[in-house]
A = this chain, B = another copy of it.
Amino acid sequence: MNAYWRACNYLSVGMIYLKDNPLLRRPLRAQDVKHRLLGHWGASPALSFVWVHMNRMIVKDDLDVIFVAGPGHGAPGVLGPSYLEGTYSEIYADKSEDEEGMQRFFKQFSFPGHIGSHVTPETPGSIHEGGELGYSLSHAYGMAFDNPDLIVACVVGDGEAETGPLATAWHSNKFVNPIRDGAVLPILNLNGYKIANPTILARISREELEALFVGYGYKPYFVEGSDPAEMHQKMADTLERAIQDIRTAQRTARQSNVASRPRWPMIVLRSPKGWTGPKELDGHKLEGTWRSHQVPFAAVRENPSHLQALETWMRSYKPEELFDAAGRLVPELRALPPKGPRRMSANPHANGGVLRKPLKLPDFRAYGVEVAAHGTRLYENTKPLGEFLRDVMRNNPTIFRVFGPDETASNRLQAIYEVSKKVWMADMLPEDADGGELSRDGRVMEMLSEHTLLGWLEGYLLTGRHGLFHTYEAFAHVVDSMFNQHAKWLDISKNKVDWRAPVASENILLSSTVWRQDHNGFSHQDPGFIDLVSNKGASVTRIYLPPDANTLLTIADRCLRSTDCINVIVADKQKHLQFTSMDEAVVHCEKGLGIWRRASTDDGVEPDVVLACCGDVATQEALAAASILRERVPDLKLRFVNVVDLFKLLPSSIHPAGSAERDIAGLFTTDRPIIFNFHGYPWLVHKLTYRFESHENLHVHGYREKGNINTPLELAILNSTSRFDLVIDVIDRVPKLQSKAAHLKDEMKNAIIDNVRYAHVHGEDRAEITNWTWPD
């Protein structure tokens, strides 16, 4: 086993330094070394160490294990084993198991046009991006849910452990049911240093460290030292015990069918940073310090003594004992790792798309709201969605979960609880029975950490399952960076890595939106998450703003069927008027944007003005404005356009979901004023539409960062998105109205003043404002 580990470490050093002479068949020359030395040695040996020891247990107990490399900057420590197990060569034929393949394998590492120095989507066996730190543990738990036989070995770096997302992810153990879920074995690698600093957890007392993990609910085992022989023995013993703890807990729960929360094991592996590397050079300590974090010494091409140090270091692993004449691992070592899909580098869970089964979806049309008369019925848009999701859950009990921070009921999705409660493995109290909706075997996931929830969902999806995350619109920004990383992961996986099978899309429902924050106020008003989404790769992002319940159902059905994408749906939870029948919703969503004839007065001819809208509240105000105009200026030719699929505003040359320039011109005209009432920041619409011929006629109303404690109408007024503001803007933009409708404009201004005054006296909007109906 130590020889196998030596081979891993040899490969790690080779990847960082060499572009030629991979087996040191001749003395090392400067020209064998890469021009630019880029990569992280520090974490690599410990990653391989854990890998090699997990291999032993997999073979011994026929375990099903996947590996998560939290210190993913140490990619060499993961790439090495996957090459030695043959997986790498199976996938990338030119990186064959011989000298020439090894040379290519070394050279490609962190080399322009090739693979990164972190664990990336190109890495077999990995479904955890190694670039940004903080999410390894929540990912690992997401992988383990509903995978009863799986063990996820999750190495957590002591640098990463300082991040907030990681610090709270330890509590994920309060959501693992030993009967139906797999297990996570966290291995905290305390190598002591980050890029330039010691780590906190390595510099507190043993008493505090142990207490911390007991406090998090674990049984910590300590494997500490630097002598390889001793450390192999300790690690082997400890892993035996940890796996036994896991199996015992699972067996007890499964045999008794009583799920409780065991003290799950975790391992603290305290090993030197850059373990087995040179102890020191030029009077500076290397092994065991931050100097080993990246490339321990870099002037190898210029400084002969450094070149010599590198050669000595590499030869200390005795490559001649490890690889045969052709450059292939010797047979004794080849016999050690698991075979086929038991290899962690080839475990199908780590290419979850191959395990993915489509959801059995009920017909979403059956959950629709009856819309006999358009715009006369108030209904919570998200409520029918809850009923639909309830039956999705019923049909797919072990491959679908819903995630949200403490707000499933608040977001009106509570019908789900009829089929599945919230899972809760911490203590229960008698009063929980009264509406607590908690259960040991629920699959609704609620914790007050958006980071943990989204991490779980990503782990769940990447292992081939399905899910939905819903959260407050404003606080989706908490997970902006996670969104970015997942989008980038999907972009590379989908477009560059052939062997990765498509995974289910990440569906994000933003509810409790900016326009309905009557008492939460300014701090809860931020519709900018979709701005962020619009910056990411077109092939992996979609944004939908369904205006009512039936369009929301239609979009939700589409999202649950899609793959390799992040679908963001913005839909408020409060009561809204219902505009589209189910049949109309299906047609409208299919197009993504279109004319609403019933609200238009242009009779299909060239209109005087286009009134467009996107978003539930924005649509309601636009409809109210159209209604006022229809009544008061009956000869105005108004075209009413609603947008559901935001990227339909982009040209199809830029975005696969975009529109042809011709279609946009047909809808919006090329020369008539367009008044656009938008849910979000108005500039986003300009950003998407600036290429269109009609862009200079476009006047967008949206959230302008104005608000505090306001009634819905007052908030709209502050941001000029109210019906009154829209009517005024139409009058201002349509020449023929300017004198004719001067009186109406005054009336609108008075209405603004009156309604704000009313709200300030009565604390709410006039009933006719919120319960306003569209004359059908």
Give the B-binding residues of A (Cβ under 8 A). 19, 34-36, 38-39, 110-118, 120, 129-134, 159-160, 162-169, 171, 174, 194-200, 203-205, 207-217, 284-285, 288-290, 406-410, 422, 424, 426-429, 431-432, 434-438, 446-449, 451-452, 474-475, 477-478, 480-481, 484-485, 488, 491-492, 496, 518-524, 526, 528, 531-532, 534-537, 681, 683-684, 686-687, 690, 695-696, 705, 708-711, 714, 756, 759-760, 762-764
A406 and B165 form a contact (CB under 8 A)? no
Q: Is the CB of B686 within 8 A of A690?
A: yes
Set B196, B523, B756: member contacting A132, Cβ < 8 A: B523
Smallest CB separation, A292 vs chain B (Å) = 12
B164 near A518: Cβ-Cβ < 8 Å: no
Contact A406 B197 (CB under 8 A): yes
Whole-angstrom CA separation of A496 from B707 in the bound complex: 12
Shortest C-beta distance, A406 to chain B (Å), equals: 5
B34, B168, B447: the one within 8 Å of A763 (CB): B34
Asked if A432 and B198 make an inter-chain contact with CB atoms under 8 angstroms apart, the answer reads yes
Expressed in whole angstroms, the Cα–Cα distance for A509 and B34 within the complex equals 32
Q: Could you tell me the distance between the alpha carbons of A710 and B110 in the complex, rounded to whole angstroms? A: 9
Contact A519 B116 (CB under 8 A): yes
Do residues A708 and B116 form an inter-chain contact, with CB atoms below 8 A? Answer: yes
CB within 8 A of A492: which of B285, B432, B447, B708? Answer: B708
Q: Which of B113, B290, B432, B683 contacts A709 (CB under 8 A)?
A: B113
Bound CA–CA A491/B704 (angstroms): 13
Contacts of A174 in B (CB 8 A): 200, 203-204
A722 to chain B, nearest CB (A): 14
The residue from B169, B197, B448, B711 contacting A112, defined by CB atoms under 8 A apart: B711
| Interface-central residue, A171, A196, A284, A431, by most chain B CB under 10 Å | A196
Instruction: Name which residue of chain B comes closest to A709, CB basis.
Output: B116
Query: Inside 8 A of A164's CB, which chain B residues have their CB?
Result: 134, 163-169, 449, 451-452
Q: Tell whether, in the assembled complex, residue A115 and residue B705 are in contact, meaning their CB atoms are under 8 Å apart.
A: no
A536 to B687, CA, bound (A): 16
* Contacting pair A159 B406 (CB below 8 A): yes
A485 closest partner in B (C-beta):
B523
Contacting pair B710 A113 (CB below 8 A): yes
Taken together as a complex, chains A and B put the C-alpha atoms of A38 and B197 apart, in Å, by: 47
Question: What residues of chain B lie closer than 8 Å to A110, measured between beta carbons?
Answer: 519, 709
Kindly report which residue of chain B lies nearest to residue A525, judged by CB atoms. B488
Q: Indicate if the CB atoms of A446 and B113 lie closer than 8 Å.
A: no
A436 B132 Cβ-Cβ under 8 A: no
Q: How far is the CB of A249 from chain B (nearest CB, A)?
A: 17
Chain B residue with minimal CB distance to A700? B690
* Cβ–Cβ contact A448 & B709, under 8 A: no
The 3 closest A-B pairs by CB, nearest first: A212-B215, A131-B523, A164-B164
Q: Which of A115, A198, A760 has the most CB of B within 10 A?
A: A198
Q: Judging by beta carbons under 8 Å apart, are A113 and B759 in contact?
A: yes
Beta-carbon contact of B200 and A171 below 8 Å: yes
Residue A409 contacts which of B196, B536, B705 (CB distance < 8 angstroms)? B196
Copies in the complex: 2
Measured CB to CB, the nearest residue on chain B to A426 is B203
Assess the A492–B422 pair: CB atoms within 8 A: no
Q: How far is the CA of A200 from the CA of B452 in the complex (A)?
A: 13
- A35: B residues at CB distance < 8 A: 762-764
Contact among B211, B407, B485, B683 with A195 in the assembled complex (CB-CB below 8 Å): B407
Residue of A448, A474, A485 with highest tally of chain B CB at under 10 A: A448
Taking the closest CB of chain B, its distance from the CB of A667, in whole angstroms, is 20
Q: CA A203 – CA B518 in complex, angstroms?
A: 32
Shortest C-beta distance, A2 to chain B (Å), equals 27
**Contact between B447 and A200, CB atoms less than 8 A apart:** yes
> What is the CA–CA distance of A485 and B488 in the complex, to the nearest angstrom?
26
Cβ distance A500 to chain B, nearest Cβ, rounded Å: 15
Contact A687 B696 (CB under 8 A): no
Which residues from chain B contact A435 at a C-beta distance below 8 Å? 284
Rounded to whole angstroms, the CA-CA distance of A382 and B756 in the bound complex is 51
Smallest beta-carbon distance A478→chain B, Å: 5
A433 to chain B, nearest CB (A): 11
Could you list 7 further interchain pairs (A-B, Cβ under 8 angstroms) beyond the known A163-B164, A195-B406, A531-B531? A132-B478, A162-B448, A164-B164, A196-B406, A203-B426, A475-B481, A535-B681
| Distance of A629 from chain B, by nearest CB (Å) | 26
Contacts of A491 in B (CB 8 A): 522, 705
14 A-B pairs within 8 Å (CB atoms) are namely A35-B764, A111-B709, A131-B522, A164-B165, A164-B169, A194-B406, A196-B407, A196-B409, A199-B448, A209-B215, A215-B215, A488-B522, A491-B522, A496-B708
Separation of A720 and B702 alpha carbons in the complex (Å): 32
Residues from chain B with Cβ under 8 Å of A116 in the complex: 519-523, 708-709
Q: What's the nearest-Cβ distance from chain B to residue A645, in Å? A: 18
Report the minimal beta-carbon distance from A195 to chain B, rounded to whole angstroms: 5
Pair A520/B117 contact, Cβ less than 8 Å = yes
Asked whether A528 and B535 contact (CB < 8 A) given A196-B406, A285-B431, A431-B285, the answer is: yes
- A714: chain B residues within 8 A (beta carbon): 112-113
Closest Cβ–Cβ distance, residue A680 to chain B (whole Å): 9
Asked whether A710 lies within 8 Å of B112 as measured between CB atoms, the reply is yes
Question: What is the minimal beta-carbon distance from A758 to any residue of chain B, in angstroms?
Answer: 10
Given the contacts A426-B204, A686-B690, A690-B695, A449 and B163 also touching, CB distance less than 8 Å = yes
Name which residue of chain B comes closest to A695, CB basis. B690
B36 adjacent to A492 (CB under 8 Å): no
Q: CA separation between A39 and B171, bound complex, in Å?
A: 29
- Which chain B residue has the least Cβ–Cβ distance from A422? B197
Closest chain-B Cβ to A487's Cβ sits at a distance in Å of 9
- Nearest Cβ in chain B — how far from A688, in angstroms? 8
CB neighbours (8 Å) of A205 from chain B are 427
| A679 vs chain B, min Cβ distance (A) | 14
In the bound assembly, the distance between CA atoms of A587 and B191 in angstroms comes to 50
In whole angstroms, what is the CA distance A44 to B545 when docked?
Answer: 37
A710 — which chain B residues lie within 8 A by C-beta? 112-113
Contacting residues, chain B, for A39 (C-beta < 8 A): 519
Min distance, Cβ A259 to any Cβ of chain B, angstroms: 15
Chain B neighbourhood of A535, CB < 8 A: 526, 528, 531, 681, 683, 705
Inter-chain CA distance A524–B426, complex, in Å, is 37
* Cross-interface CB contact of A211 among B134, B212, B284, B521, cutoff 8 Å: B212
CB distance from A714 to the nearest CB of B (A): 6
Most chain B beta-carbon contacts within 10 A, residue among A531, A537, A696, A756: A531
A531 to B680, CA, bound (A): 14
Give the docked Cα–Cα distance between A747 and B756 (Å): 65
Question: Which B residues lie within 8 Å of A681 (CB)?
Answer: 535
Beyond A34-B763, A113-B759, A709-B112, is A522–B492 a contact (Cβ under 8 Å)?
yes
Q: Compute how far the CA of A477 lies from the CA of B438 in the bound complex, rounded to whole angstroms.
A: 34
> Chain B residues with Cβ under 8 A from A760's Cβ?
112-113
Q: Is the CB of B118 within 8 A of A520?
A: yes
- Given A434-B284, A711-B112, CB of A162 within 8 Å of CB of B166: no
CB contacts (< 8 Å) of A120 on chain B: these are 521-523
Task: Report the separation of the CA atoms of residues A36 and B765 in the bound assembly, to the nearest whole angstrom.
Answer: 11
